[in-house]
Amino acid sequence: MKTHNVGYLLIFSAMWGGIVGMMHPHWQLAIEGGQVWAGLVDYPLDNPNFMYLNHAWTMVHQATGLLLYAGLPEKLLSLFISGLIGFVSCMAISGLMFYFSRSILFSILFPVLYYLIEKQMHLGANYPIMLWDVPHTYGALSFSIVLLIVSLWLLNKHRLAGFLLGLLPSLHIAWAFFVYLVMTLIQVKRWCCKQNNLWQRIMPAFICGSLISLISFMDYQYHLIQYPEVMQLKPFIKAFQQWDCHRMPLPVTHPAIWINIIAIIYSIFCLQSQSFTPRVLAYEWMIACGVLGLVGALLSYLPNNMYLYIYRMIPTRVLNVNVVFLIACCAGQLNINNFRGAVLVVLTCVMYLSGMMISFWAAAFTISGVFFGITWIKEIFSKQVENWIQHDQWRYIPLFLMVIIHCQFIVQHISNISKFIFHKDLVIEEVKKTKGILLTASNIMLIQARTRKPVLLYGESLDMVMYAMASMPTVSHILNDIYGISWCNPPESVLHKGGLTSCIDQKLWENRSLDQWIEIKEKYNVSYVLTYASYQLNLKLVEKNSYYGLYRLP
C-alpha cells in the first residue's frame, strides 16, 4: 500500500475518532491539575488533593494550565480533551488493523466495534482499557499513545513514532518505563541474533521529543513543593492494599492472562515461519509485552516483596497492550476479504446488536463454535457456495453490519455534545459563588474542575495517595473524623474499590449534630458541604436539585 494512502487512513480515522470522543464528553481529571498549575484554585499546602496534583508529573497538567490561563473555559477544554482521547485511540487501533489487514475501510470501522465489545467484555487486567467515554485523562490518553507509537512504528512512520516515544515520559512516566523496558528486551534479542538496531531510524525524532520532556520535567521541578518525609509509612501502605483496585492479585482465569499467553505462542510460531518475516517487529512487541505483563501478574501476588516504585506503576497494565494487539492481529489477518474473516465479523456484530451481555468465556466459546461450524460446513459444501463466493457477494454482509452499528452509534450519542455544552446545574452554579474549602460526600468527584473551588478530599479516588504518600496520615485523619471510616480497617463495602462507595457516609452525616459540624469546620476549615440529593443534613440548605444538595456550615 502506498505511503500517502496510509497517511490518509490515519488522518481520516483520527478525525472520526475526535468526533467519537466528543460524542462521549466528560469533565476531565486533567483539568484540575491544570487549574492548580495555573494558580486558579487556592489550596492550603497540606491539602491531600493539592499534594497529589502538585506531586504528579505530566505535561497534560502544564498544557491544560496554559490553555486555562489563556482564558479557555474548563467545559470546552474538557470537550476538547474527550475528543483528543478518541482522536488518538481511533488512529492507533485503525493503524494496527491496517498493518495486519491492508483494508482501509475495515481499519476505519474497527475501532468503534472494538470499543463496544470491550465495554461489554471488560478485558482489561486490573487497569481497565479506556479508549474514550471516561473522565480519567491520564490512563486513557497514555494507553492510546502507547498503541499509537507501536502502530506508527509498524507502518514505518518512524519520525512521529520516535517523537511520541521521546514525549511519553512527560505524559505518563509509568507507561514510558514499561515501553522502554519492552524495547530493551527486543533490542537485546536483536543483538543476540545479530539483527539491525531497533533505535536507528527513530533516534533524531526521539531526541526532539525527549528535549520537550526534559523541559516539562524542569518546569515540574520548579513548581514542586517538597514535603517532610513521613515516618512509619509502612502501616499506611499495608492498609492501602485493602483499598486499591488496580494492583490486586490477578486471577489465573482472567481473560487478559490467556490472551497474552496465546499472543506469545502465536508470535513465536509466526517468527519461526519464513512467510511472516515482514512482520517480525509486531511479533517481537507481542512477545515482549506478554512476557513483561505475565511477570507483572506474578508480582501482583507479592505486593509486600515488590519494590515500592514498581508497585506504584501497576505492572499488570502491560497485559492490556496485547489485549488490543492480538485481537487486531487476528481480525486483521483473517480480514473481511477472506470468508473466515467475514464470518467472524458477522458473528461479532450480531452478538453486539442482539445486546447479549455475556461473559468473555461464554462469548469466546460461542463465537469459536459457530465460527468453526460455519467454516466446516463451507468446506463440506464448497462446490455449492463456490459460485456465490466467487462473485464476492458475501463481502458486503460484514461491512453492512458494521455500517449499521456505526449509524446506530452516531444516532445514539450525537446529541451528547450539545447536552454537555449547554447543560447548567443550579447547585454547581451556587458552589461557584462560595468561599473556602468544600467538603464533598462519599464518591462525588470533579467538582473542582467544574467550580474552581478547593475540595478537602475526593473520597472516590483515594488510590491517589500512592503518588503522594506524604498525604496518607492526613487522609487517614479526614476519613476517621468526617466519614467515620478507618484507613487501616475499612468496611467490606469499600474493599478494592479504590475509594468510597456512593452514600456510604449518608447515615452518619444525617445523624451528625450541629455542634459536631462546627467542630469539623473549625478543624478542617470547610465552609460548605456538597452531598447527593438524597441526603438530609442538620445544616442550612443553600440549593438542591435532583442530583446534588449544597449546605452551608454556620
Give 399-428 pLDDT, tens digit per residue.
Answer: 666 666 666 667 777 777 888 888 888 999
pLDDT at 152 (0 to 100): 93
User: Whole-angstrom Cα distance, residue 243 to residue 247?
Assistant: 10
Cβ neighbours around 427 below 10 Å, total: 18
Indicate the pLDDT class of residue 351, thresholds 50, 70 and 90.
Answer: low
The cell 476479504 sits on which residue? Answer: 337
Q: What is the mean pLDDT of residues 306-316?
A: 83
User: 310, 333, 356 — which closes off a domain?
Assistant: 333
pLDDT at position 373, please?
A: 52
Do 187 and 73 reside in the same domain of the chain? yes
Strand ranges across the sheet with 540-544: 437-440, 526-532, 548-552, 540-544
User: Are 393 and 272 found together in one domain?
Assistant: no
- Residue among 219, 246, 206 at smallest CA distance from 60: 219
Burial of 513 (0-12, 13-18, 19+ CB in 10 A): exposed
pLDDT for residue 526: 94
Judgement on whether residues 523 and 445 belong to the same structural domain of the protein: yes
Same domain, 483 and 463: yes
Give CA separation, 107 vs 183, 185, 514, in Å: 26, 29, 61
Structural contact between residues 356 and 121, judged by C-beta atoms closer than 8 angstroms? no
Q: Give me the DSSP letters along 120-178.
A: HH---SSS---SSS-S-HHHHHHHHHHHHHHHHHHTT-HHHHHHHHHHHHHH-HHHHHH
Q: Are residues 451 and 400 in the same domain?
A: no
pLDDT at 308: 78
- What percentage of the chain carries pLDDT values higher than 70? 84
pLDDT at residue number 360? 47
**Which residue type is seen at 435?**
K
pLDDT band at 255; cut points 50, 70, 90: confident
Residues 322 and 357 in one domain: no
| 381 — pLDDT class (breaks 50, 70, 90) | very low
Does one domain contain both 104 and 142?
yes
Based on the structure, what is the number of domains in the chain?
Answer: 3
Can you give the pLDDT at residue 348?
57
Give me the amino acid identity at 481.
D
- Which pTM was predicted? 0.87
Percent of the chain's residues with pLDDT above 90: 44
* Predicted pLDDT of residue 234: 80
Cα 311 to its chain centre, rounded Å, is 18
Q: What is the pLDDT of residues 452-500, one digit of tens each?
A: 999 999 888 888 888 888 888 899 999 999 999 999 899 998 888 888 9
**Confidence band (pLDDT; 50, 70, 90) for 314?**
confident
Distance CA 447, CA 27 (A): 9
Helix axes 203-223, 59-69, angle to 10 degrees: 70
H or E element at residue 549:
strand 548-552
- Name the DSSP letter for residue 249: P
Chain mean position to CA 510: 36
Residue 57's pLDDT is what?
A: 93
pLDDT reported for residue 516: 93
Confidence grade of residue 384 (pLDDT, cut at 50, 70, 90)? very low
Report the alpha-carbon distance of residue 468 to residue 463 in Å, rounded: 10
Structure confidence at residue 410 (pLDDT): 73
Q: What pLDDT is recorded for position 92? A: 93
The mean per-residue pLDDT over the stretch 223-252 comes to 85
Query: β-strand 437-440 against 540-544: which pairing, if any?
Result: unpaired
Same domain, 323 and 372: no
Is the pLDDT at 266 greater than 90? The verdict is: no
Task: Kindly state whether residues 124 and 200 are assigned to the same domain.
Answer: yes
pLDDT band, very low/low/confident/very high, at 542 (cuts 50, 70, 90): very high
Least confident segment among 261-275, 307-321, 347-361, 509-523? 347-361
Average pLDDT value for the chain: 83
Give the span between the Cα atoms of 66 and 59, in whole angstroms: 11
Q: Please compute the mean of the pLDDT values over residues 43-71 and round it to a whole number.
A: 93
Q: How confident is the model at residue 176 (pLDDT cuts 50, 70, 90)?
A: very high
174 and 223 in a single domain? The answer is yes
Q: Are 502 and 443 in contact, with CB atoms under 8 Å apart?
A: yes
Highest mean pLDDT among 167-171, 268-272, 326-330, 343-347: 167-171
Given 333, 364, 390, the domain boundary residue is 333
Cα(90)–Cα(147) distance, integer angstroms? 10
Q: Are residues 246 and 120 in the same domain?
A: yes
Same domain assignment for residues 431 and 455 = yes
Q: In terms of C-beta distances under 8 Å and separation of at least 24 residues, what long-range contacts does 97-100 make, across chains too?
A: 97/328, 97/331, 97/332, 98/1, 98/6, 98/9, 98/155, 98/332, 99/151, 99/154, 99/155, 99/279, 99/282, 99/332, 100/279, 100/282, 100/328, 100/329, 100/331, 100/332, 100/333, 100/335
Last residue of a domain, one of 333, 364, 385: 333
Is 440 in contact with 459 (CB distance < 8 Å)? Answer: yes
Note down the domain range covering 529.
424-552
* Distance separating alpha carbons of residues 425 and 443, to the nearest angstrom: 18
C-alpha grid cell, residue 459? 473520597
Tens of pLDDT, residues 108-152: 877 877 777 777 777 888 888 888 888 889 989 999 999 999 999
